[in-house]
Amino acid sequence: MSRSERNQTQVNPFLKIKIVFLIMLFVGLMVITNIYLNGIIRIETPEVDLGRKVVVHLEDGKEVQTYENLLVKKKGKLYYQGEFNTIDVTGGIVVFQDWD
């Protein structure tokens, strides 16, 4: 193999360094963009006023600890209306007290 043939088959020695540098630059830009966007974007949930804390003493001796605005009156009956369920608490005694 002559010198001219050997020089033609050699790959540019700086090509690998350039590729690694470009990959690191791209990853760095992605990380910086992610940090920047996470700092800017804020999703705030609205505050829900649940009212005062109450305890409903039921007729069978059990009690339900809830908030005032979760108790709903419909057609003369008192219901506890939670996020996923509704409980009939008609006949229970509502007492406003802190139940921590």
pLDDT at 29: 98
pLDDT tens, position by position, 77-95 = 999 998 899 989 888 888 9
Domain residues of the chain, as ranges? Answer: 3-40, 53-96
At 2-49, the pLDDT tens digits run 777 766 666 677 888 899 999 999 999 999 999 999 988 888 888 888
Which DSSP string corresponds to the chain?
--HHHHHHHSPPHHHHHHHHHHHHHHHHHHHHHHHHHHHH----PPPP---SEEEEE-TTS-EEEEEGGGEEEETTEEEEE-SS-EEE-TTPEEEE----
pTM for this prediction: 0.53
- Going by pLDDT thresholds of 50, 70 and 90, the confidence category of residue 1 is low
